[in-house]
Structure 1
Amino acid sequence: MADSATEIPSIIEESVKETIKNVTDKPPASIEGVAIAYLSLVVMAILPIFFGSFRSVKYLKEQKESGQAHETMSNKDALMFPLIASCALFGLYVFFQFFSKEYINLLLTGYFFFLGVLALSHLLSPVISLIMPASVPNVPYHIHFTRGERDGRSDIVNYKFTSYDVICLIISLCLGGWYLFKKHWIANNLFGIAFAINGVELLHLNNVVTGCILLCGLFLYDIFWVFGTNVMVTVAKSFEAPIKLVFPQDLLVNGFNASNFAMLGLGDIVVPGIFIALLLRFDKSLKRGSEFYFRATFCAYILGLLATILVMHVFKHAQPALLYLVPACLGTPLALALLRGDINALFNYEDQPAIPEAAAGDSKAKKSE
């Protein structure tokens, strides 16, 4: 009788464990595994911001030297961005509700495969140039297709590349094939990091006011779609594309075949990242030989990300990362600029000063002449 009494609780306990496993359908993760997963996400988040910011300085310098005007986000664009993002997010949610997610993800996989190969090739280009031995020549090529003759001739394709670019493309295609057929989390992260670095490098905020409008708008966007509805979480879990960084929490248990993932959306990296990159360019414009505002805000971003992970782990609920990242990334440089007397310089700084309408008209008239 006593044996039966002791067996009943153990049977119930095993039954509860089995039920939990069936409901969650996720392998158990150790405390060490969870810590490694979150630490890895933090590292993968800060590297694109760091390298992308310095690449943005180089990119802007090259654009200015070539005399080309780079595209920047206007205040109107910043105001509209959260609304456009909301429509796109809800549209995806509706699609996942009414159509099979396998077919949707198949279409998206092909689309992001193409973009990922281009992003990875652009990222690998300077690396390949550094590591290739001098015995391998970097042969330039030029593909040029035109339409018409003489004065009426116009370009259809005008693309210059080198043999090193071909090597980058081959490597990127191999990694893309791995992602396409295996959907492995490492391949996903390689594409995701490439997207993030390219985003921080090439997407430019022209001034701090535009950055404040964008971050504040997405601050409200993130809170609404995470806390107000289940739309954001549903789409994030259903969307099989490299728009998020993932790391397995059960890596120590199941190795590289682990399947219980912690995730971080690329928007939580790129959106604060383009603002932090703007601050680095502002630091360079001050010509003080320091990167004070960039480094301070970069550290604030790390603290904000750690706060997001801590709250998410304590409350066991998905958190809008921008709820913590936006106050950290906006409050830190504004407060420091106020204390150091740089607030006017910060708000007056522009990567590409606006051309007065009269001057713009004169320049157009000269070009037409």
Structure 2
Amino acid sequence: MDQLGETVRKGFGNVVDNLGKAVRDAFAQAEGLDIKINGTNISALDDSTGNLTANGTDPLLSGKKTPATFEGLVVAYVAMLVMALVPIYFGSWRSVRFQKHSKTLPKDQQPEKMSAKDAMMFPLIASCALFGLYLLFHFFGKEYVNFLLTAYFFVLGVLSLTTFLSPFMSLIPGVPKEPTYKISFTSRTGTAETPYFDYEFGYKDVAAFGLAVACGVWYMMKKHWIANNLFGLAFSLNAIEFLTLNTVLTGVILLGGLFFYDIFWVFGSNVMVFVAKSFEAPIKLIFPQDLLELGMNAKNFAMLGLGDIVIPGIFVALMLRFDVHLQEKLKRKGYFYFKATFFAYFLGLVSTIVVMHVFKHAQPALLYLVPTCLGTPILLALIKGDFKEMFKYEDHPVDPDAITDKVKTDKILKKEN
């Protein structure tokens, strides 16, 4: 059985590599996408979980590159670090507020939470999606695929950026802070009403929506790196705020699975790199390394995929909520695990940059981020005696009555069938 599995794995790998080589050669001949830095070939950013790239060039931003100076590299890497840390920090705190708010909602309006089974399936689903995009770009051409992706990300980006900008609009003098309008859709059954959609908004939301639409049009027309980063920051912040791991075990399974996913698709195949070169959407943060020389016309970019922010970021946010739990249950003070995990993420990202800069090759950032972000809080929990409490913690504890009701319902349905 093991021999059969090994044969299948090798066969699939050969098919992927051969198909990738043919597509890559054709793509390079048609588009001239050889990327070289000081005579050294490097790979561009990988997409799905995203990897940091040295001196990469976005295919949307064509033109001759200016070699990066030492000062330019420092500015770019510091900017990338700041842009990665900001959404994790603020998204984590917003996730605490979101968790407290969600606990006040009725059971049928509770946000969905990721289970351990979902976490196990995620790398497989992500792999299928990645390889599906690879085939789409190969058989239909990147122009047609990117047209649909641009339309999709325009809508998604405008909504995310509106949510991101709305709190800042309330700081403008004269703008009412309280909602003044309400849109509601309900379904009536007899005398009972079931709400399907209920949204309150005010002038600050309208102003934020207008700015978000303007930014979306700017991105679609110019593909400018600032517009790209605004969308990327909004995506990251909202994802960290609203995505709920629920338990530490779920986080360990998710990050562990994506750890191997990232390594396989970066080092084991060219699929991820090819998709990233072809994919035209704000799924990465970019910053020019030649900003000091060319200003806003810079074309030589360092890049970081949003997955390298969001995936570790939702675990960092979980550690903050765990700290809040320790404060409420055990009367602890401070945010020990959040600060430790946040600093561990910083060290992991710095390690990624250093290795990438030394070897001049794209790095699977989760290779460095997962061990630091998982290992640090778990090791500290073992030392402090919080290991059992950490793995018992749940953002949204399962209601025993709900489980009992579900079991009873399943038994009734089986009898009827």
Distance change >3 Å, CA 252–CA 139, structure 1 → 2: same
The count of aligned residue pairs is 348
Paired with 1:223 and 1:18, the residues of 2 have a C-alpha distance of 23
Say if 2:164 is the partner of 1:120. Answer: no
Say if 2:77 is the partner of 1:38. Answer: yes
Structure 1 residue 21, shift from structure 2 partner: 11
Paired with 2:165 and 2:200, the residues of 1 have a C-alpha distance of 17
Say if 2:356 is the partner of 1:309. Answer: no
Gaps of 5+ in 2: 1-35, 43-56, 58-63, 410-417
Whether the aligned pair in 1 keeps the contact of 2:179 and 2:200 (CA below 8 Å) is no
Deviations 1:241-290 (A, max 9, x none): 01110111121222111111111110110000000100000000111121
Structure 2 match to 1:346: 390
Structure 1 residue 305, shift from structure 2 partner: 0.3
Q: How does 1:219-298 map to 2 (within 5 A)?
A: 219-287=259-327, 288-298=332-342
Whether the aligned pair in 1 keeps the contact of 2:176 and 2:204 (CA below 8 Å) is no
Aligned partner letter, 1:106: F
Gaps of 5+ in 1: 1-16
The equivalent position to 1:104 in structure 2, one of 135, 145, 152, is 145
Whether the aligned pair in 1 keeps the contact of 2:320 and 2:338 (CA below 8 Å) is yes
Deviations 1:45-72 (A, max 9, x none): 0111000000000001111123452211
Aligned partner letter, 2:84: A
Paired with 2:206 and 2:397, the residues of 1 have a C-alpha distance of 37
Structure 1 match to 2:90: 51
Structure 1 match to 2:120: 79
Distance change >3 Å, CA 308–CA 359, structure 1 → 2: closer
Aligned partner letter, 1:89: L
Secondary structure, in 3 states, of the residue corresponding to 1:72? coil
Q: How does 1:142-221 map to 2 (within 5 A)?
A: 142-146=182-186, 150-151=190-191, 157-221=197-261
Deviating more after overlay: 31-40 vs 333-342:
31-40
Say if 2:173 is the partner of 1:133. Answer: yes
Aligned partner letter, 1:163: Y
Paired with 1:149 and 1:362, the residues of 2 have a C-alpha distance of 24
Deviations 1:202-229 (A, max 9, x none): 0011100000000000000000011111
TM-score, length basis structure 1: 0.88
Q: How does 1:300-339 map to 2 (within 5 A)?
A: 300-339=344-383
Secondary structure, in 3 states, of the residue corresponding to 2:184? strand
Distance change >3 Å, CA 359–CA 86, structure 1 → 2: closer
Paired with 2:213 and 2:37, the residues of 1 have a C-alpha distance of 42
Counting helix residues as a fraction of each chain, which structure ranks higher? 1
Aligned partner letter, 2:126: A
Structure 1 residue 132, shift from structure 2 partner: 2.5
Deviating more after overlay: 79-88 vs 140-149:
140-149
Deviating more after overlay: 188-197 vs 34-43:
34-43
Distance change >3 Å, CA 62–CA 147, structure 1 → 2: closer
Paired with 2:100 and 2:197, the residues of 1 have a C-alpha distance of 26
Paired with 2:250 and 2:83, the residues of 1 have a C-alpha distance of 26
> Quick one: percent identity of the two aligned structures?
60
Aligned partner letter, 1:331: G
Whether the aligned pair in 2 keeps the contact of 1:138 and 1:164 (CA below 8 Å) is no
Structure 1 residue 147, shift from structure 2 partner: 5.7
Paired with 1:210 and 1:255, the residues of 2 have a C-alpha distance of 44
Secondary structure, in 3 states, of the residue corresponding to 2:395? coil
Distance change >3 Å, CA 358–CA 97, structure 1 → 2: closer
State the structure with bigger RCO (CA 8 A, min sep 6), 1 or 2: 2
Deviations 1:114-138 (A, max 9, x none): 0011001111122212x13246575
Paired with 1:318 and 1:31, the residues of 2 have a C-alpha distance of 19
Whether the aligned pair in 2 keeps the contact of 1:147 and 1:155 (CA below 8 Å) is yes
Deviating more after overlay: 252-261 vs 291-300:
252-261
TM-score, length basis structure 2: 0.78
Secondary structure, in 3 states, of the residue corresponding to 2:320? helix
Whether the aligned pair in 2 keeps the contact of 1:21 and 1:27 (CA below 8 Å) is no
Structure 1 residue 177, shift from structure 2 partner: 1.2
Deviating more after overlay: 106-115 vs 19-28:
19-28
Deviating more after overlay: 76-85 vs 257-266:
257-266
Q: How does 1:63-74 map to 2 (within 5 A)?
A: 63-67=102-106, 68-74=109-115
